[in-house]
Amino acid sequence: MPTQPFFPKRYTAVAQIFHWVIAALIVTQFALAWTAEDLPLGIHKLALYARHKSFGMTILMLAVLRLLWRLKNPPPPLPDGMTPVERLLARATHIAFYVLLFIMPLTGWMMSSAKNYSVSWFGLFTWPNLIGKNEHAFDVLRTTHDILSDVLFAIALLHILAALKHHFWNKDDVLVRMLPFTKSEKRT
Ligand code: HEM
Ligand code: HEM
């Protein structure tokens, strides 16, 4: 007898922890980079970028764990009332997020390597350089990191608006099932 795959009704605690910890780190990344950008070159600016790099590498490590975990743990199915276009958008957004969770840190890491600037992890250890010193590669990677951060920002905005639409307009449990300390029964 073939076994039916098991689909949970809510995101599990592990999925919720991954989601909210990484979301908080992404917000931190933007706050650090945007603050650092406006500062004159000096110790304060460098300290903020060092923190940006450490948190960014933390996101990369968490992204690896999250993806491995996600491949073994299917998410709850989307509500029946969603149109095919909405389903496609939801899937595309989630896939784009997973891709960006890898590409953002990797372009940042490679950018630093291309300048031979060290990437430390909160001063505990130093990551090896991914590529050799190369000014042209640095320019390309810096532009890519910058453009992709705008893409990530736009997708996050779309994602948040969609979550709020589900909650307040559709009145389904899509937002609630990603929130810790909640129950889904009443809204479905
Ligand atoms: C998901 C993780 C990351 C996010 C969301 C992120 C986001 C950003 C953003 C929004 C900026 C400002 C872009 C601009 O407007 O010019 C930036 C700049 C920068 N990021 Fe990241 N970053 C991440 C990971 C990393 C990592 C892991 C490193 C290095 C190991 C890194 C190194 C840098 C550097 C050096 C800059 C300054 C580039 C410049 O001089 O213009 N980032 N990042
Ligand atoms: C920028 C930070 C964020 C990132 C990178 C992110 C990423 C993701 C990803 C990858 C998923 C799919 C999870 C999976 O099925 O494996 C997801 C689901 C979800 N996210 Fe976010 N998210 C972010 C911020 C937020 C915020 C601020 C909200 C709330 C307003 C939110 C609400 C949700 C909800 C409700 C789901 C579940 C959607 C469903 O049931 O299909 N996310 N998020």
49 lines ligand 1 (CB under 6 A): yes
75 lines ligand 2 (CB under 6 A): yes
The predicted pLDDT at position 44 comes to 98
Residue spans of the chain under pLDDT 50: 1, 186, 188
Tell me the C-alpha distance between 98 and 20, whole Å: 14
The predicted pLDDT at position 26 comes to 98
Tell me the C-alpha distance between 18 and 34, whole Å: 24
139 lines ligand 1 (CB under 6 A): no
Closest by CA to 108, choosing from 45, 49, 173, 35, is 49
Residue 58 vs residues 12, 46, 72, 74, 104: alpha-carbon distances, Å: 22, 18, 22, 24, 12
pTM over 0.85: yes
Ligand nearest to the CA of 142: 1
The predicted pLDDT at position 84 comes to 96
Taking CA atoms only, the protein residue closest to ligand 1 atom 39 is 142
Tell me the C-alpha distance between 150 and 155, whole Å: 9
145 lines ligand 1 (CB under 6 A): yes
Q: For residue 93, how far is its CA from the centre of ligand 2 (angstroms)?
A: 9
Tokens of 129: 């350089």
Q: In this structure, are residues 174 and 93 in contact, taking their beta carbons and an 8 Å threshold?
A: no
